[in-house]
Chains A and B, each alone.
Chain A
Amino acid sequence: MKLDPRTKLFLAVAANSVILSAPFAYSVLMVALPAVLLLFERKWKLVFSFFLTYSVAGLGFEYLKGMDLGMAGTLVVATAMLAYRMMPVCVVLYYIMVSTRANEFMAGMSRMHVPNKATIPLTVMIRFFPTVFDESRAIGNAMKMRGIRLFSLQTLKNPFAILEYRLIPLLVSLTKIGDELSVAASTRGLAPETRRTCVVPVGFHLQDVVVFVYCIAIIALFAYSRVSV
């Protein structure tokens, strides 16, 4: 199932606004949408483990948050919060990253009359989040082989060393990738002043309408519950 890039942007905004502030009942309704959409992308395992962690963390968080727990408690609640509030946001963004090709995203943005100067960095940024983590993981493995770990006595003795061993290789490889990417982009005629064409048809269909209506309905419900209290 294919959604329009603009619908996905709307989904991201709507999901963030509900997930970050609403109680569990509304949040779970909102989270169900990207989960179902990810099922269409055939990510069974991810959706299952995500939903399990999310519900456990969410229920635990709702139970714990009214109490004053001290420092250790704050750490537990913060972890639950990350799984309950931040993880769904990341999953929505992950869905957008997995399902949207760069050219579709650019076509959608240019339909919304966003200038290319803003679209190019945004596209690159969305493409680069996974790359940052991949590269970082690879560098971490390489450093583990040399006996340099993130949490060890040696690191505690010299915290700057970890910056030097982890951050600098990451920067070097990312800038290399970036240079190659910009050369590849300009050979394909990507320039701020040109208007690009797109092979994939971008437009609103029935599924877009369904997503829009669902999001608006949940936001309206949530707003109504706020007003009536």
Chain B
Amino acid sequence: MPNVKTTGKKSSNTLVRDLVNVGIFTALYIVLAFLSSSIGYIPALIVVSTCSIALVTSIPMFLFYIKIDRPMLCCMLLCGIFGTAMLLMGQGVLMLVICLVIGLLTGICLKVFRKSFVGLFLANMVMSLMSSSMMLPLWTSTEEYLSYTRTMCDEGYVAHLAELSQSYWPLIGIYTFGVLGAIVGGFAARRVMKKHFERMGLTR
């Protein structure tokens, strides 16, 4: 066939497939992240809500990592689009930067460890840091974040947030719970992979 390029590059067909997959999983990620973070409206559960995000999103993310051929590009795009969506929802530029850095790190994890379980697991853990960072402005720019929340929620909730921002322990708690959720979710995802996806041939 004369039209086939033989430049040693991967064919552009798989590139289109990768890009389409990025689109699908970004949509899914945003929907799931918003649904599972909504338990954070109960003030006692604010710190734990990151855990639920990481737990719920780890199964789709495992499937995503397995399905893509170009980890760097795809993870950067997914995180970039997520960051832009966050920017539209009223988060700061800091969030976008964090998202891009985390996308890069996730890509590196996948690139170094290939698609072994360790690689997927590490990538998932790094990715959980992204959804945990949604609360970061509460500590980095407290006043702005509080006045932003004040337009969204009642005074009781804002007072609770202000109380949280007094010490750094809740911040550490948020990240710890996020990573914990990713760890539990990672093992669950491995079981699901074995039980469902490999049998259906989706992991190819």
Choose, from A30-38, A44-52, A121-129, A202-210, the stretch at the interface. Answer: A121-129
Q: Considering the complex, give the chain A residue whose CB is closest to the CB of B188.
A: A160
Q: Is the CB of B19 within 8 A of A120?
A: yes
- The reply to whether B23 and A123 contact each other, CB–CB distance below 8 Å, is yes
Q: Are A75 and B41 in contact (CB under 8 A)?
A: yes
Do A178 and B20 touch (CB < 8 A)? yes
Contact of B156 with A by CB under 8 A: yes
Known contacts A65-B154, A160-B188, A163-B59; decide if A120 and B23 are in contact (CB<8 Å). Answer: yes
Pick from A73, A78, A133, A185: contact of B20, CB under 8 Å? A185
Minimum CB distance partner of A178 in chain B:
B24
> Does B60 lie at the interface of the complex (its beta carbon under 8 Å from any beta carbon of A)?
yes
Bound Cα distance from A13 to B17, whole angstroms: 29
Bound together, the chains give a CA A89 to CA B89 distance in angstroms of 9
Would you call A174 an interface residue if the criterion is a C-beta within 8 Å of the partner chain's C-beta atoms?
Answer: yes
- Which B residues are CB-close (under 8 A) to A123? 23
Indicate whether B4 reaches chain A with its CB closer than 8 angstroms.
no
Identify the closest chain B residue to A117 (Cβ).
Answer: B19
A74, A120, A168, A178: the one within 8 Å of B156 (CB): A74
- Contact across chains for B63 and A192 when beta carbons are under 8 A apart: no
Among B17, B155, B192, point to the contact of A68 (Cβ < 8 A).
Answer: B155
Which B residues touch A170, using CB under 8 A? 28
Is A182 an interface residue when CB atoms closer than 8 A count as contact?
yes
In the assembly, what is the distance between CA of A193 and CA of B24, in Å?
21
- Return the chain A residue nearest B31 by Cβ: A132
Complex: chain B residue closest to A183, CB-CB: B17
5 contacts between A and B (CB under 8 A): A85-B152, A121-B19, A124-B22, A129-B27, A163-B59
Task: Give the total number of A-B pairs whose CB atoms are below 8 A apart.
Answer: 152
Verify A73–B154 contact, CB threshold 8 A. Answer: yes
Q: Is the CB of B154 within 8 A of A167?
A: no
Q: Interface range on chain B: under 10, 10 to 19, 20 to 34, or 35 or more?
A: 35 or more
A10 to chain B, nearest CB (A): 12
Q: Smallest Cβ distance from A36 to chain B, in angstroms?
A: 22
Instruction: Say whether, besides A68-B159, A74-B41, A128-B27, A191 and B81 are in contact (CB < 8 Å).
Output: no
**Is the C-beta of A66 less than 8 angstroms from some C-beta in chain B?**
yes
Give 6 closest A-B pairs by Cβ, nearest first.
A124-B23, A68-B156, A121-B23, A128-B27, A182-B20, A120-B19
Cα A112 to Cα B17 with chains together (Å):
24
CB-CB under 8 A from B63, the residues of chain A are: 171, 175
Residues of A with C-beta under 8 A to B153: 65, 74, 77-78, 81
Question: How far is B159's CA from A65's CA once the two chains are assembled, in angstroms?
Answer: 12
Whether B156 contacts A70 by the Cβ 8 Å rule is yes
Contact check, A192 vs B159: say whether CB atoms are below 8 A apart: no
Residue A69 lies at the interface, judged by CB distance under 8 Å to chain B: yes
Q: A69 and B24 in contact (CB under 8 A), knowing A21-B148, A117-B19, A192-B19? A: no
Known contacts A70-B156, A73-B154: does B56 contact A163 (CB below 8 Å)? yes
Contacts of A122 in B (CB 8 A): 23, 81
Question: Once bound together, how far apart are the Cα atoms of A20 and B152, in whole Å?
Answer: 8
Contact B154 A69 (CB under 8 A): yes
Q: Nearest Cβ distance between residue A61 and chain B, in whole angstroms?
A: 9
Contact with A along B47-64 (1 / 0, CB 8 A): 000000000100110010
A94-136 interface code vs B (CB 8 A; 1 in, 0 out): 0000000000000000000000011011111101110111000
